[in-house]
Every structure is written in structure tokens, then in C-alpha cells.
Amino acid sequence: MTDRAQPLLPVEEALARILADAQPLERETVSLMDAHRRTLAADLEAKLTQPPFDASAMDGYALRAADIAETPASLAIVGEAAAGHGLGRAIGPGEAARIFTGAPVPEGADTVVMQEKTRREGGRVTILEAVAKGTAIRPRGMDFTQGAVLLEAGLVLESRHLTLAAAMGHGRLSVVRRPVVAILATGDELVMPGETPRADQIVSSIPYGLAAMLAAAGAEPRLLGIARDTRESLDAHIAAAEGADILLTIGGASVGEHDLVQDALKARGMDLAFWRIAMRPGKPLMYGRLTTGGPGRAPGHGAGQRVIGVPGNPVSAMICARIFAVPLIARLTGRPADASHASGTRRAILAAPLPENGPRQHYMRATSETDGEGRRRVTPTDSQDSALMTRLAQADCLIVRPPHAPALEAGAEVPILPLDF
């Protein structure tokens, strides 16, 4: 059976093969400034107790509750406690200390009375209203204690987590290394953005969209430029991908006379797993492994460099990357990734009817909005032509239509895959 005669591989099976042996990459240690959106590689214990002392929750006076059982009560002011500057002595009977928010509560004091309930006259303060013992004091360890695990391995670190990690006493964090993805455009018809194309050329736009998408997914993209339609150019550019975890090629992966990418990769040792998928847009998707020239791996991470070849059509390329490359990057960075991209789908209500689907899974560009009842309503773009980048730019999600799905009326529920994440 020739390659072209082989049956198309279902989307779910193709994705399952790509993810089959994908495990988180090795750890590395980075500063807090470089840890945003990285995956925590190990449970994080607090090095400190927070707050490290009983702290005042407001501006007022620190005193003994027993001294204000009856009000008004006049107390001697013996000093002042501010954030970073403790009183330096204990509070005794009949005494009070001026205190400010965040300051350590002096030994002997068990209550803080807010300043609005007091009247100061020289070196004495009159407490006008009684308050309960312990009022306005944040006790030591109220937030967390030393040794407590507060952030768990596998967490994708957002700004709020980094705030906590810093408060826990950590300046550097152990995170999963980001996979390096080398992105290679191919074709004599391409010129770089900003250059003037000839009448028979177009601008190479796909690498920039892919780089942004994959960076958002947690990868470190590296652009390799444009390989021309010669074996010499392809060989040189593929060699430049050495050290990357994933080589993502664009175009030229079919078996036409001008599609040289497969042969060039096979000549360098690629074991081709599959290259035709039962989906639209994006049927000629390629996946394999280069057994030479890949980076060193820790045990269990699979042998060789992963190769994903997406179609040269911009819409097809972006959709294929969203469906196949993004879940792979999630696995490699230690983020949750089911063996099916369906784990990332949501449900929405159709705002317009859809015709029945053909034999390939269809990813329809669509826009969505929330209606007055809080339901997500989704509308297909006016054209599903895969050559239209404007429609992809307008869309914020994909309607997922399984093979041979029946026609649907407006109001039916459908799965959607967000384009942004």
C-alpha cells in the first residue's frame, strides 16, 4: 500500500500517538522574575512563618484588655511601635503603646484599640470604648507556618503564586524546563515580512503566529528562517534545529514533486509515524522522530527530536498546531494534558444552523459571546475557506464537528475549542 493509499488517521488516534511517551522535561532553577507561567517541579515548603510575630491590624493603641474592662479608661503612653520598629519593651498594667498597622504587638499587650475610639492628651490616652481581648491582632502564623507545603508540583505559576512564593522566603524556584521548538518555514515562494515579494511570491506569516501560540503554551520558540526547495537548503536548516526538543516544519511535507521535506528528514534519520489525518483543514500533518541530532534527554523522555510538520496553508497550520502541538507542549512542561484535545473543549449554543459534516473531523472557525442568560453562543464565520486568514483572525474558537455529524439547527449544543488559552 502506498503512502497516499493509506487510510487517514483519526484525530484522536494521532494525538494519542504524539502524547504516548511524552513526559515532563528535566528541572531547572530560575529566579522569581523568570518563573511566571512556568510549571513548578517540586512541592514548595514555606521557609518562614507569616506573620512572624503577632502584628497589629490597624493604627491605634496596644494595651492589656484587663485595663479597659471599664471605660473610659486612662492609660500612660510608654512608646511607639511601627512596622519594622518594635517597641523594645513590655507593656505593663495601666500602660499603652501607640502602634501602627503591621507593627509587632509588644509583649504583655493582648489587644489593639483603633485610634478612632481613643482620645490622647499629652502622655496619656483615654480609651472611650471597651473592646474584646485579641481585637485587631493578627497572631503569629495566621497565614502560614514554616515547613507547610503551600504550592504543589505541577502548578502553573501565576502572579498570585509568585507573591506567595516570595513571602515563603524563596528567591529561586525549581521549574520544569520549557521545550525548545525550532520553527522552520519552507518554500521558494516565501519572503520575510517587510520584504517586497515578487509577483509569484507571498510573505511568510505562519512562523510568527506559531511562535506566539507556542510561547503562550509554555514553549521557547526559535525561528530558523526559510528553507528553499533544495536538499542543500533543507539540510542546512534542519541541522540548525539541533538542540531543540521539537522541530516544527511548515509546508512541503506531502509527496508532490516539490515537497522535499519528508525525504530530507528521512535522510537525516527520521522515523515517520504518520502524515495524513482525517481532519479539515489540515489533512497533510506529519509526525515523526529524528534519531540523530536531538538534545540530551533524561531517562524516560523518549529518544530523538520530535518532528511535527504542519501544512503550508496558514489557517491549516495554526489549527494543526493548536490541536497537536499545544497538548504536546503541555505534557512536556508538566501541565495537565489528556490523551485527547477534547479535554480542552467547552460547550456552546449554536447561533446559526450547520449542515451535516463529511468523513473528516471539521474545525470550523467561529466567534462566541455570552447571551443575557449567561450561555455561550457561537456563530461560524461566514466562510470556512482555509485560505482566509482574516476569518481566522476574527474567530476566537473552533467548533468541533465529528466525522459524519448530522445537520444541526440553531440552538443545538456543540463542543468548541478556544483559540486562546
CATH of the domain at 40: 3.90.105.10
Signed CA dihedral, 248, 395, 323, 3: sign only: negative
135 pLDDT exceeds 50? yes
Asked, for residue 331, whether it belongs to a domain, the answer is yes
Please indicate, yes or no, whether residues 197 and 259 belong to a single structural domain of this protein.
Answer: yes
Average pLDDT on 233-250 reads 96
300 pLDDT exceeds 50? no
Please indicate, yes or no, whether residues 323 and 211 belong to a single structural domain of this protein.
Answer: yes
Asked, for residue 1, whether it belongs to a domain, the answer is no
Please indicate, yes or no, whether residues 219 and 316 belong to a single structural domain of this protein.
Answer: yes
What local confidence, expressed as pLDDT, does residue 372 receive?
Answer: 86
Per the rule left: phi > 0, alpha: psi between -120 and 50, beta: everything else, 301 is alpha
Please indicate, yes or no, whether residues 312 and 375 belong to a single structural domain of this protein.
Answer: no
Please indicate, yes or no, whether residues 191 and 272 belong to a single structural domain of this protein.
Answer: yes
Rounded distance between C-alpha atoms, residue 156 and residue 215, angstroms:
14
Instruction: State which of 283, 312, 342 marks the end of a domain.
Output: 342
Instruction: State which of 327, 342, 357 marks the end of a domain.
Output: 342
What local confidence, expressed as pLDDT, does residue 221 receive?
Answer: 98
What local confidence, expressed as pLDDT, does residue 15 receive?
Answer: 94
Instruction: State which of 319, 342, 365 marks the end of a domain.
Output: 342
Q: Are 22 and 246 in contact (CB under 8 A)?
A: no
Asked, for residue 286, whether it belongs to a domain, the answer is yes
298 pLDDT exceeds 70? no
Rounded distance between C-alpha atoms, residue 367 and residue 355, angstroms:
18
Instruction: Specify burial of residue 201 (Cβ count, 10 A radius: 0-12, 13-18, 19+).
Output: middle
What local confidence, expressed as pLDDT, does residue 345 receive?
Answer: 83
Rounded distance between C-alpha atoms, residue 346 and residue 107, angstroms:
56
Please indicate, yes or no, whether residues 302 and 387 belong to a single structural domain of this protein.
Answer: no
Rounded distance between C-alpha atoms, residue 174 and residue 39, angstroms:
9
Please indicate, yes or no, whether residues 43 and 97 belong to a single structural domain of this protein.
Answer: no
Q: Are 202 and 190 in contact (CB under 8 A)?
A: yes
Average pLDDT on 329-345 reads 73
Please indicate, yes or no, whether residues 280 and 183 belong to a single structural domain of this protein.
Answer: yes
Instruction: Please report, for the domain that includes residue 99, its CATH number.
Output: 2.170.190.11
At residue 272, the 3 state secondary structure works out as strand
Q: Residues 91-107: pLDDT tens digits? A: 999 999 999 999 999 99
Alpha-helix runs per DSSP H in 243-380: 261-267, 314-320, 326-332
Please indicate, yes or no, whether residues 188 and 163 belong to a single structural domain of this protein.
Answer: no
* Lookup: cell for 298: 533524561
Instruction: Please report, for the domain that includes residue 364, its CATH number.
Output: 2.40.340.10
292 pLDDT exceeds 50? yes
Domain that holds residue 356: 346-418
36 pLDDT exceeds 50? yes
pTM for the whole thing? 0.85
Asked, for residue 6, whether it belongs to a domain, the answer is no
What local confidence, expressed as pLDDT, does residue 4 receive?
Answer: 52
Q: How many domains does the chain have?
A: 4
What local confidence, expressed as pLDDT, does residue 3 receive?
Answer: 52
Please indicate, yes or no, whether residues 200 and 302 belong to a single structural domain of this protein.
Answer: yes
248 pLDDT exceeds 50? yes
Average pLDDT on 111-133 reads 96
**pLDDT confidence tier of residue 8, bands split at 50, 70 and 90:** very high
**pLDDT confidence tier of residue 122, bands split at 50, 70 and 90:** very high
Asked, for residue 228, whether it belongs to a domain, the answer is yes
Please indicate, yes or no, whether residues 16 and 154 belong to a single structural domain of this protein.
Answer: no
Q: Residues 366-407: pLDDT tens digits? A: 999 998 888 999 999 999 998 899 999 999 999 999 999 999
Q: Are 214 and 181 in contact (CB under 8 A)?
A: yes
Average pLDDT on 226-241 reads 96
Asked, for residue 18, whether it belongs to a domain, the answer is yes
361 pLDDT exceeds 50? yes
| DSSP structural state of residue 301 | S
What local confidence, expressed as pLDDT, does residue 256 receive?
Answer: 56
Please indicate, yes or no, whether residues 37 and 66 belong to a single structural domain of this protein.
Answer: no
